[in-house]
Structures are given as structure tokens and as C-alpha cells.
Amino acid sequence: MPDPLVVKICGIKTPALLDAAIDSGADIVGFMHVERSPRYVDLETLQELISQARGRVETCVVLVNPDNSTVMEVAALSPDWIQLHGPETPHRVEAIRDEAGIAILKALGIGNAEDVARVAEFADAADRLLLDAKPPKGAERQGGLGVTFDWTLLKALDPNLPFMLSGGLTPATVGEAIKAVRPMGVDVSSGVETAPGVKDAALIRAFIDSARAAHA
């Protein structure tokens, strides 16, 4: 039997969609605490959503290059994970993990072989790695941009290094991605939306069902 696939639904903003993700079988739900994102949730909403999820599903708060006070504000809410989705160095990732006392999911943008070569530098600094499409030059934000990357680049990775896969996945493509890349988990945000930041419960369920079927 293969290890169970971890499915993360990111960019949840409302109690109803949180329930929909949990009911559809998500393993982790992600909340964006990044102001320039269309999926942004403030601290008060974060607290409510994390409380609603507690004991039902793992929670993850996404931060981009956060300062120490932001890290501690989020750590005080006791999510299961903090996802770092910015240009943080391995040293900074370790410092945030030590300071917050919370498991770190480090997202790394992949656009070329050089990016793949850098992945191993983060293996010990973070608790888990998420390989995402590198945002195009001039993009105003990281992640949730609906673009994929060349998965064949990942053949250069150490096969013993587990990682989650993100970047432009949809209910229609996630099965192909799982079969091609064999990640330990998959992460979706824009691929289950009808407009930027607007999640759809039926798309969430379709994504999770497609991912589970491909992994089985």
C-alpha cells in the first residue's frame, strides 16, 4: 500500500468553505495571511477559522517573508503549520520554526534546474517542502497564480526527499501530476475557484476525489 496522499486546500476564507473542504476529505486547510492576496484573511478571521477546524483537520497559515511580530501573532493562534511562501533563506526558516514552535512548510518556486538544485538546502530547515511554480517576473504575489511548471525538472531531485506539489493543479490535471511526479501530497488554491479568491465546494470535492483516485 502506498503511503496516504496529503491533500491541502489553500486560500479558504469562509466557515462554509472550510466545512466543505473538511467534508470532502482534505487533510490540511490553508489560510492566507498575506494582505495583497485575494484570499487574505485577517487575524480575527484566522482565529475563528482555526478554532472551527481544530480537531477536524490540520490547519496551515501562509506567510510571505514575515517579521517576528507577525510570526508570533500567528503562532499564538496555534495552527498546525506555518507555510513560508517568500524568499526566506534556510537560516530564516529555521529561526522562524524555533521562535514559533510550529511545524514549517516551506514553499519553493521551481522554474529551472537551478531552483531544483536549491531544494535540498531547505530539507533540514523545514518540516516539509512544497514545490510550486515560480511566479513570473514582475508578479505582485507568490502562489495561487494558476500556472504549472515543467515537472520533468524534478527528476533531478533526491528520490528520498519527500515533497508536496503545487502550481496550477486542477481537478482535471491533478491525477496526471500525481502519476508523473509521485509527490507525498498536493496543494491547490486557484484550481478550485470560479474567480480569484472565490472557492467552489463542488470543485474542491472533485479535486480531492481525482487526487485520491490517481494515488490509489
Q: Of 74, 132, 67, give the one whose Cα is nearest residue 103.
A: 74
Cα 132 to Cα 122: distance, rounded to the nearest angstrom = 14
Q: Of 76, 170, 93, give the one whose Cα is nearest residue 128.
A: 93
Cα 10 to Cα 26: distance, rounded to the nearest angstrom = 10
* Active-site hit among 3, 10, 60, 150: 10
With beta carbons less than 8 A apart as the criterion, state whether 190 and 149 touch: no
Q: Please say whether the dihedral angle defined by the alpha carbons of residues 203, 208, 209 and 211, taken in this order, is positive or negative.
A: positive
Q: Which residue has the cell 508578479?
A: 139
Q: Annotated catalytic, 60?
A: no
Terminal Cα distance for the chain, rounded: 8
* Active-site hit among 132, 150, 200, 209: 132
Catalytically annotated residues: 10, 132
